[in-house]
């Protein structure tokens, strides 16, 4: 951490700046900023990442939230965007060119996967997708034109891990840039930069914001790499609104308190589910039954607020279970104060049979839960009554 302050202290004081005269920072709701002289204007216009020139280029409210995010991820600097996909697309588009090759995982956030498999292909960038649990597969997929390795750990929906030290180590030897989507773990539980990864991306919509009220993204890396990504992002234009940057800042203040509780709730719920007769299997890196539990203990400080499980029975019985849940909210997204769940297969129920789902690796009875801040006894009671 830059100033060697503790994580929780950075969340409160990491954004301090010289001209502070209020305890809570103002929202700089201005699209553009004044110069008081011709020289000053020329300087503002030509400075990379000037934070008081034009809001698409930077904004003082962005700067404050970005300072904290850089500190808690252990990076030199951070860039904010208007969504997680804005962060991921700006990063990837800045780092690859026509004729380049990317190694990524078979398991990624859907938007990341589609960006690599469909959109980038149209611009002459090919990707190879490998099993994230197999370090050898990353090695084997590398070609002479591989420029980037994209990883995501834990990944949706089965909380599968990538060995960050091993992948980063190997990529470094080959001069390949590594990017890690750290959304599911959050910086409270995992810091990929400290394990050798070059760039971290976040959907700040999730744990960093933490209240289901903003859509935002963040990119953390060295000054040099972030400047390069900034030149791309000012062209693409995923600018975070100053109001949402302020809400992100507000959310960040309590990040460690929230995630600690979410870690605890997730572990308790995972253990409860594992002991229940109607549950076939639970996926949570904090459980000893997780096939990568040893790796989780090595690269994570906590195991996160998201888990998933497979019920015994059919799609229909799982849909009925979902219907009986009273307090848990049926909604996509994760990492916020409310406990949310999704019955993944329900998204395809209108277009696929149970057999087709199984063939497409969409488990018909899989439920994903993102634990919120409710009292865990109430969460377990709701799940228990729904299990019947």
Residue 181 among the catalytic residues: yes
Choosing from 64, 100, 109, 198, the catalytic residue is 109
Half-sphere exposure of 153 (CA within 13 A, CB side): 31
Residue from 282, 281, 304, 299 nearest 135 by CA: 299
Q: How far apart are CA 216 and CA 202, in angstroms?
A: 8
Which span (132-140, 203-211, 218-226, 294-302) binds ligand PLP, by CB under 6 A? 203-211
CB of 156 to ligand PLP, least distance (A): 6
Cβ atoms < 10 Å from Cβ of 344: 20
Residue 56 among the catalytic residues: yes
Which span (77-85, 189-197, 279-287, 322-330) binds ligand PLP, by CB under 6 A? 77-85
Cβ atoms < 10 Å from Cβ of 258: 23
Binds ligand PLP (CB under 6 A): choice among 84, 192, 210, 242: 84
- Cβ distance 15 to 68 under 8 Å? yes
φ, ψ of residue 28 in degrees (nearest 5): -85, 80
Integer angstrom CA distances of residue 131 from 3, 107, 140, 141, 144: 38, 8, 11, 11, 20
How big is the site for ligand PLP, counted in residues (CB under 6 A)? Answer: 14
Eight-state DSSP code of residue 54: B
Binds ligand PLP (CB under 6 A): choice among 52, 55, 59, 83: 83
Which span (31-39, 201-209, 229-237, 375-383) binds ligand PLP, by CB under 6 A? 201-209
Beta strand residue intervals within 194-339, DSSP E: 199-203, 217-221, 279-283, 306-311, 329-330
Binds ligand PLP (CB under 6 A): choice among 109, 129, 138, 284: 109
CB of 119 to ligand PLP, least distance (A): 15
Half-sphere exposure of 237 (CA within 13 A, CB side): 0
Residue closer to ligand PLP (CB basis): 14 or 217: 217
CB of 384 to ligand PLP, least distance (A): 27
Taken as a whole, the chain contains a residue count of: 388
Residue closer to ligand PLP (CB basis): 52 or 107: 107
Residue from 296, 318, 250 nearest 27 by CA: 250
Residue 297 among the catalytic residues: no
Residue closer to ligand PLP (CB basis): 220 or 279: 220
CB of 325 to ligand PLP, least distance (A): 21
**Burial (CB count <10 Å: 0-12, 13-18, 19+), residue 133:** middle
Binds ligand PLP (CB under 6 A): choice among 215, 221, 265, 365: 215
Name residues contacting ligand PLP, limited to 149-178 (CB under 6 A). 152
Half-sphere exposure of 107 (CA within 13 A, CB side): 17
- Cβ distance 248 to 214 under 8 Å? yes
Closest CB to ligand PLP: residue number: 84
Binding status of residue 341 toward ligand PLP by CB under 6 A: no
Binds ligand PLP (CB under 6 A): choice among 153, 162, 189, 205: 205
Binds ligand PLP (CB under 6 A): choice among 181, 308, 311, 344: 181
CB of 91 to ligand PLP, least distance (A): 11
CB of 18 to ligand PLP, least distance (A): 32
CB of 176 to ligand PLP, least distance (A): 21
Residue closer to ligand PLP (CB basis): 210 or 217: 217
Cβ atoms < 10 Å from Cβ of 284: 26
Binding status of residue 15 toward ligand PLP by CB under 6 A: no
Q: How far apart are CA 110 and CA 372, in angstroms?
A: 23
Residues of this chain that bind ligand PLP (CB under 6 A): 83-85, 109, 111, 152, 181, 183-184, 203, 205-206, 215, 217
Q: Catalytic amino acids?
A: 56, 109, 181, 206
């Amino acid at each position: 951490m830059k100033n060697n302050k503790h994580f929780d202290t950075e969340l409160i004081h990491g954004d301090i700046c010289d001209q502070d005269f209020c305890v809570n920072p103002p929202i700089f709701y201005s699209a553009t900023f004044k110069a008081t002289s011709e020289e000053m204007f020329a300087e503002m216009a030509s400075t990379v990442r000037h934070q008081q020139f034009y809001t698409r280029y930077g904004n003082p409210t962005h700067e404050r939230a970005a300072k904290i995010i850089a500190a808690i991820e252990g990076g030199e600097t951070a860039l904010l965007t208007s969504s997680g996909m804005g962060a991921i697309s700006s990063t990837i588009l800045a780092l690859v060119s026509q004729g380049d090759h990317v190694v990524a995982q078979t398991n990624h956030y859907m938007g990341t996967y589609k960006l690599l498999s469909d959109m980038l292909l149209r611009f002459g960038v090919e990707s190879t997708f490998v099993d994230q649990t197999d370090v050898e597969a990353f090695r084997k997929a590398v070609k002479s034109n591989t420029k980037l390795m994209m990883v995501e750990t834990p990944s949706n929906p089965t909380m599968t891990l990538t060995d960050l030290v091993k992948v980063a180590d190997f990529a470094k030897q080959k001069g390949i840039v590594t990017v890690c989507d750290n959304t599911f773990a959050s910086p409270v539980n995992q810091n990929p930069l400290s394990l050798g990864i070059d760039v971290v991306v976040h959907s700040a919509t999730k744990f960093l914001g933490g209240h289901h009220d903003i859509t935002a993204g963040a990119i953390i890396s060295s000054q040099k790499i972030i400047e390069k990504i900034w030149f791309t992002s000012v062209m693409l234009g995923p600018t975070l609104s100053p109001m949402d940057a302020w809400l992100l800042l507000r959310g960040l203040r309590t990040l460690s308190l929230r995630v600690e509780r979410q870690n605890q709730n997730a572990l308790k719920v995972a253990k409860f589910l594992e002991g229940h007769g109607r549950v076939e299997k639970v996926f949570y890196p904090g459980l000893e039954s997780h096939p990568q539990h040893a790796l989780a203990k090595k690269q994570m400080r906590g195991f996160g607020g998201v888990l998933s499980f497979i019920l015994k029975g059919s799609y229909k019985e799982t849909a009925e279970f979902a219907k009986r849940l009273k307090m848990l909210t049926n909604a996509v997204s994760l990492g916020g104060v409310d406990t949310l769940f999704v019955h993944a297969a329900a998204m395809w129920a209108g277009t696929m049979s149970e057999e087709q789902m199984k063939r497409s690796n969409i488990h018909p009875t899989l439920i994903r839960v993102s634990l919120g801040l409710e009292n865990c006894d109430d969460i377990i009671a709701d799940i228990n009554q729904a299990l019947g």
